[in-house]
């Protein structure tokens, strides 16, 4: 009789233990989100670092020497090809933007911004980043937790946030819009193009 009671109670005990166990371990979705956050932080920190390296190297080599846009692109490409981190992310078929493409991003940025090929959700974040006195830390947290964004969209958005943070006083609205355009148009091609576009914007202004 005692054994029979134990057998009857066993399923209840197992069920209870399972519930307790489940409560202690994050579910698959939580684990996936945590991993994505870590990867996003790591990737964007690295990309932002490469931008700073390229800009610093350009300024050290060329200072405030007045160069045409074409000359700036050529000089920046030479510096980028000497940067091991940039070479590591550069695809085999990588090419720098043409003078016309760069000029469009730098001068006709309002039109380019309007026509960016991004989702409505991403565009909403872009518009939010253009607001005055926006708390970038809060926006970045929202981006990382937003389940409606895919990994690539999060990578792009967090990178843009980091670049705006790197700029003194976070830049005015026109500068931030140029930053978004440079990063977003580059991201359509590759992460290397994103880094190059943003670095070019930094040395152009």
Q: What is the pLDDT of residue 173?
A: 86
pLDDT at residue 40 greater than cutoff 50? no
What span, in angstroms and rounded, lies between the C-alpha atoms of 205 and 199?
10
Question: By the 8 A CB rule, do 50 and 86 touch?
Answer: yes
Task: Give 46-105 pLDDT, tens digit per residue.
Answer: 899 999 999 999 999 876 677 899 999 999 999 999 999 999 999 999 999 999 999 999
> Which token pair is 8?
């009857």
What would the mean pLDDT of 28-53 be, rounded to a whole number?
A: 59
Q: What is the pLDDT of residue 45?
A: 58
Running DSSP on this structure, what letter comes out for residue 119? Answer: -
What span, in angstroms and rounded, lies between the C-alpha atoms of 118 and 81?
29
Task: Give 147-204 pLDDT, tens digit per residue.
Answer: 999 999 999 999 999 999 887 555 688 999 999 999 999 999 999 999 999 999 999 8
More confident residue, 144 or 22: 144
User: What phi and psi values does residue 166 have, to the nearest 5 degrees?
Assistant: -70, -25
What would the mean pLDDT of 27-37 be, rounded to a whole number?
A: 44
Burial of 62 per CB tally in 10 Å (0-12, 13-18, 19+): middle
Task: Give 107-155 pLDDT, tens digit per residue.
Answer: 999 999 999 999 999 999 999 999 888 899 999 999 999 999 999 999 9
């Amino acid at each position: 009789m005692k054994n029979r009671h134990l057998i009857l109670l066993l399923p209840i005990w197992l069920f209870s233990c399972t519930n307790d166990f489940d409560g202690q371990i994050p579910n698959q979705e939580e684990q996936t989100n945590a991993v994505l956050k870590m990867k996003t932080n790591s990737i964007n920190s690295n990309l932002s670092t490469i931008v700073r390296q390229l800009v610093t190297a350009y300024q050290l080599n060329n200072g405030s020497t007045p160069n045409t846009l074409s000359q700036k692109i050529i000089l920046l490409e030479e510096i980028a090809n000497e940067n091991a981190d940039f070479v590591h992310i550069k695809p085999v078929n990588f090419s720098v933007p043409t003078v016309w493409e760069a000029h469009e991003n730098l001068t006709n940025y309002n039109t380019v911004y309007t026509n960016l090929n991004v989702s409505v959700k991403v565009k909403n974040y872009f518009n939010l980043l253009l607001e005055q006195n926006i708390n970038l830390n809060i926006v970045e947290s929202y981006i990382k937790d937003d389940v409606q964004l895919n990994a690539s969209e999060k990578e792009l958005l967090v990178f843009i946030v980091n670049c705006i943070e790197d700029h003194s006083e976070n830049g005015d609205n026109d500068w931030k819009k140029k930053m978004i355009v440079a990063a977003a148009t580059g991201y359509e091609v590759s992460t290397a193009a994103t880094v190059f576009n943003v670095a070019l914007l930094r040395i152009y202004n």
